[in-house]
Amino acid sequence: MTCCLVRPDTYRDSVELMRVAALVEKVRGVSRAALMMATPANRELLSGAGLLDATGAAAGPNDLVVAVAAVDRAAGERALAEAARLLDEQAAVSAPAGDKPVPRSIAEAASELPRANLAIISTPGAYATAEALKALKRGLHVFIFSDNVPVADEAELKRLAAKKKLLVMGPDCGTAILDGVPLGFANAVRRGSIGLVGASGTGLQEISCLIDRLGEGCSQVIGVGGHDLDERVGGLMMQAGIERLAADPGTRVIVLVSKPPAPAVARRVLDVARKSGKPVVVNFLGGDPAAILGAGAIPAATLEDAARAAVALARGKRVAAAPLAVAPKLAAAGRAKARRFRKGQSLVRGLYSGGTLCQEAALILEEAGGQKHTTVDLGDDEFTVGRPHPMIDFRLRNERILAAAEDPATAVILLDVVLGYGAHADPAGALAPAIEAATKAAAKRRRGLAIVASVCGTPADPQGLARQETRLAAAGVLLAPSNAQAARLAASLVGHRRPAQTKG
C-alpha cells in the first residue's frame, strides 16, 4: 500500500531528499520510498510510480512530499516516522568537526560541554561576580579562585546558590578536593571517610594532609571561602557543605575549620552540624570552645588536633584529650640549636605563605606567652598585589629570611612549606639556599639561629614529601610533623619550655 506525508512549505535540496529516501527504503516492510518537492512534474512522476495517495496529490510545489510503498499500514507509518526523523536530524546536524572556535563565554562553552556542572573561575576579581552569576544561572557549581571579590557580591552569589542547591566555593580560598578531583591549591590526599568544610585554604590543606599521614582519607574537601562565615554571608556555604556531607553515606566524620565566626553565624552553622547526625570536629581558630561543645561537636585547638580527632572518630576510637608532645629527638636537636643563642636573641619570626597556618602559629606563640614574636602572612593581599603568591614565588620570603637573620633579636625563623597541586614544583629547593645563607650569616656574627618548619604535603604530592623534607633537613631545618608542633617547638626554643602542654 501507499502512504504519503506532506511537509507544507518546506524546501530541501533534491540530493538530500534522495539520500533520506535511500535510508527510508531500508525500513522493514518498505519496498520503495521517495521524497520530493511536490511540483506538478514530480507529482506526475510519483503518480506514475504508483506512490501518490490523496494526501500527496493535494500537495503544492512548495511542499515536501514523502511517499512510501509498504506491505501494510504499520510498516508505512514506521517509514514515514523514520523519514520525519531523518529530515529533522538532517536539519539539526551540527557543523563538521574541526576548527571549532574556542568558546569565549560561559553560554557558548556550556553548549559545547554538555551537562557541564562546575565553573572554575580565576579571572581578576572585578569580573568574577558576573562569571559566577552566569554559571549559577546555568545550574553550575562554582569554584572561585579569584580574590578581591566584594563581600556584598559574594553574599548575593551564595544566596542564589543556596536557592538553587548549588555550591559556591571561594572566593579567597582556593582549595577543594571534590570526588577525588583537586581544585586550586590542594594536596594528593587519599580518599576516605572524613569530610572537610573550611573557610580556610591552608587550614584544609594541613588537616587533609595530616589525615593522610595518619592513615585515613577524605571523602570531600570543600573550601567555602575566607568570608563565608562573615555576618554578611552568614556561613551559607558552610551550611550547604555540611548538609551535603550529612547526606553522603561515605562520610563518617565531618571537620569544620574557620576563623571564629560571629556568634549568630556560629549558631546557625553549629545547628546544621548538630542536625547532620554525624560526629563533627570544629576548629574555629582560637575561638571559644563553649558554643561548639554546647552544640554537641568536638572543639579542636589546632589543625593537627582536628585531624587527630577526626581520625580517631573515623576509627571509632576515643578522642585524645591532650595534643601530642614534640618528639624527644626533635626537642633535643632544638635544644642543641638554642644553646648557641646569644643574649638578646629572643624572638620568633614566622614567615608564612599560608594564612591559616600563620594565624595558628601566632595563636600558639601568643599562648606560650611572654614576648612579642612576629608572624607575617606573605600571601596576604598587601603582599600579592602585582606579584605571584608566595607558594609559587619564593623571592619575597627568601629576602625576608635573610633580613630576619640579620636582626640580632631573631632566635627562630618559623616557616611553612606547602606542597600540592598549584604550589611551586620544588619549594624546598627554592627555600634552601636562603636558609643556608641565613644560617651562615648568623654564624658569621657568632649567633645561633634555629630554622623551624613543617611541610604541608603528602607522599603522593607532585613534589614528593620525603624529597622535600630531606632537602630541608640537609639545610639544617628543624622539621616538625605539623604546623602546630613547629610553632610549639619554636616557642620552647626561646624559653617557653612548654612544647606539649598547651591546653587541649
Partner 1 sequence: MPAPKRKTSGGSAPLFDGGIRALNIGVAEFALSPRAHGASVLELDWRPPAGGDRDLGLLLARLEDDPDDPIGSRVAAANKQAIERILAAKPMLVDIGRAADNVKGLGPRHLLHAGPPIAWARMCGPMRGAVIGAILYEGWADTPDAADRLAAGGGVTFAPCHHFGAVGPMAGILSPSMPVFIVENAPGGTRAFAILNDGMGKVLRFGAYSQEVLDRLRWMNESLAPALARALRSRGPVDLKNLTAQALQMGDECHNRNVAATSLFARLIAPSLVRTTPADVAARVLEFLEANNHFYLNLSMAASKATMDAAHGIEGSTVVTAMARNGVEVGVRMSGTGDAWFTAPAPIPDGLYFPGYGPADANPDLGDSAITETAGLGGLAMAAAPAIVRFIGGAAEEAIATTKRMYTITLARNNDFGIPALGFAGTPTGIDARRVVDSGVQPVFNTGIAHREAGVGQIGAGIAKAPLACFAGALRELGRRLKVPA
Residues 70-129 that bind partner 1 (CB under 8 A): 88, 90-96, 99-110, 112-124, 126-127, 129
Window 263-322: residues binding partner 1 (CB under 8 A): none
**Which part of the chain contacts partner 1 (CB under 8 A), choosing from 211-219, 225-233, 300-308, 398-406?**
211-219
Q: Is 233 in the site for partner 1 (CB under 8 A)?
A: no
Taking CB under 8 A as the binding criterion, the range among 40-48, 217-225, 229-237, 378-386 that sits at the site for partner 1 is 217-225
Q: Output the nine-digit C-alpha cell for 24.
A: 527510508
Per-residue binding letters, 376-415, with partner 1 (x by CB under 8 A)? ----------------------------------------
Q: Is the peptide bond before 171 cis (omega within 30 degrees of 0)?
A: yes
CA separation for the pair 472, 477 (Å, rounded): 6
Question: Which residues neighbour 411 within 8 Å (Cβ) at sequence distance 6 or greater?
Answer: 338, 341, 345, 346, 347, 348, 448, 449, 450, 493, 494
User: Which of 71, 130, 322, 403 is close enough to bind partner 1 by CB under 8 A?
Assistant: 130
Shortest Cβ 123–partner 1 spacing (Å): 4
503 binds partner 1 (CB under 8 A): no
Phi, psi (degrees; rounded to nearest 5) at 362: -60, -40
Q: Tell me if 11 contacts partner 1 by CB under 8 A.
A: yes
End-to-end CA distance of the chain: 89
Instruction: Convert residues 29-68 into a mask of x (bound to partner 1 by CB under 8 A) and - (unbound).
Output: ---------------------------------x------
List of residues 6+ apart from 54 with CB closer than 8 A:
none
Cell numbers of 364, please?
A: 600558639
Work out how close the CB of 174 gets to partner 1 at its nearest, in angstroms, rounded to a whole number.
Answer: 9
Residue where the block lists cell 562520610? 251
For partner 1, the closer of residues 193 and 492 by Cβ is: 193
For partner 1, give the closer residue by CB, 182 or 448.
182
CA atoms within 13 A on the CB side of 192: 24
Would you say 181 or 385 has its CB closer to partner 1?
A: 181
- x-or-dash string of contact with partner 1, 161-190, rule CB under 8 A: --xx--x----------xxxxxxx-x---x
Residue 424 found at the interface with partner 1 (CB under 8 A):
no
For residue 198, the minimal CB distance to partner 1 (Å) is 16
> What does 325-386 look like in DSSP terms, one character per residue?
PPPHHHHHHHHHHHTTPPTT--EEEEEES-HHHHHHHHHHHHHH-SS--EEEETTSHHHHTT
Which C-beta is closer to partner 1: that of 184 or that of 279? 184
Task: Give me the least distance between CB of 436 and partner 1, in Å please.
Answer: 30
Strand-strand pairing, 175-178 and 181-184: antiparallel
Contact between 135 and partner 1 per CB under 8 A: yes
C-beta separation of 76 from 1 below 8 A: yes
Task: Determine, following the binding rule CB under 8 A, whether residue 251 of this chain makes contact with partner 1.
Answer: yes
Q: Which is nearer to partner 1, 106 or 295 (CB)?
A: 106
Tell me how crowded residue 205 is: count the other CB atoms within 10 A of its CB.
33
Q: How far is the CB of 177 from partner 1 (least distance, A)?
A: 9
Residue 157: closest CA among 228, 211, 69: 228
